[in-house]
Amino acid sequence: METKWSNMSCRRVLLTGFTLCIVLVTTPCSGIDIHADSEVLIQNGTAGTLRCSFRSNEVVSSTTSVTWTFQSNQPDNLFYKTPYTVFYYSNGRGFPGHDVFKGRVQFIGDINKRDASLQLSPAQFSDNGTFFCDVKNPPDVTGTPARTELRVVLKESLPQNNMAVIVGAVCGALFLLVLIAVAACVVMRVMHSRHEYEGCTSLESVSSQAPKPRKKVEVNLESSRGPNPPGPVQGPVIYAQLDHSGSRSSFHKMEPVVYADIRKN
């Protein structure tokens, strides 16, 4: 009996754990994720954008709200100790917060696209500090506000545009490729001409060495003719066509003509 009871208890525990796992996996989380730029640089006296976006499992509705707060990093500033609300958005309408930011903040986001960005214009040195973006999309109301460190600087302190450097680097790379291609063509042409020159010299050497075996043959012929007794030697017989009548229709006769082979003794 005890063994059967223990087996039933194990099965119940396993079934309960499996059910809990399924419930935890299938039940959507009621939290909301908020993201913003960690740092933003704005030139003094110009407009800047504080970007903020969020992700939620619930459908965006009129109850979705956005709250922007600010805390200064300057000890003598009014907003140094605690954050103050600078802008509030709900039901499709925006409400500026403290008088310091009235007329200088504008909601440029789109709630339906999950964008809660804010524009600050014109930026002032007193705006140096931390801006917090908090979004509520009921029932997704639990989430950590995103924070952005704003630095209002002079124009000389802004990072320079690297477009000129990039263009120069690309042009330099293209010029280097063209130079390499031209150098390769010149090297190939020089090697080709050198190959032709070596071929000509080899042919000339062969032609200059060709008559040597002929001299050997003549020496052999003279040596072979040495023992023969002196006397008139009949030369080669050459047949020539002689025209006796002088007319075109005359019969051409082949007569032998003997040339004497005159050699020095």
Least confident of 24-33, 136-145, 184-193, 238-247: 238-247
Asked whether residue 78 falls in the same domain as residue 185, the answer is no
pLDDT tens digit sequence for 207-250: 555 555 554 444 444 444 555 555 555 555 554 454 555 555 54
Asked whether residue 98 falls in the same domain as residue 123, the answer is yes
175 token code pair: 């010029």
Task: Report the half-sphere exposure of 238 (CA within 13 A, side-chain side).
Answer: 7
What per-residue confidence (pLDDT) applies to 6? 58
What is the span of the domain harbouring residue 97? 27-157
Asked whether residue 40 falls in the same domain as residue 153, the answer is yes
Q: How far apart are the first and last CA of the chain?
A: 146
Asked whether residue 85 falls in the same domain as residue 179, the answer is no
Task: Look at residues 106, 112, 59, 114 and name the one whose alpha carbon lies nearest to residue 87.
Answer: 106
Instruction: Give Cα 153 distance to the centre of its chain.
Output: 35
| Residue 256 pLDDT class (50, 70, 90 cuts) | low
* pTM, two decimal places: 0.52
Asked whether residue 134 falls in the same domain as residue 183, the answer is no
Asked whether residue 66 falls in the same domain as residue 99, the answer is yes
d(CA 152, CA 231): 127
Residue 208 lies in a domain: no
59: left (phi over 0), alpha (psi -120 to 50) or beta: beta
Contact criterion met (CB below 8 Å) for 145 and 50: no
Asked whether residue 65 falls in the same domain as residue 153, the answer is yes
Residue 12 lies in a domain: no
Q: Give me the count of residues in the chain.
A: 265
Residue 178 lies in a domain: yes
Q: Please tell me the total count of domains within the chain.
A: 2
| Residue 22 pLDDT class (50, 70, 90 cuts) | very low
Q: Which positions ≥6 away from 42 have C-beta within 8 Å? A: 48, 120, 123, 127, 150, 151, 152, 153
Asked whether residue 152 falls in the same domain as residue 32, the answer is yes
Q: Give residue for tokens 């922007």.
A: 68
Residue 265 lies in a domain: no
Mean pLDDT of 20-24: 44
Asked whether residue 96 falls in the same domain as residue 181, the answer is no
What per-residue confidence (pLDDT) applies to 231? 52
Asked whether residue 132 falls in the same domain as residue 181, the answer is no
> Does position 259 have pLDDT exceeding 80, yes or no?
no
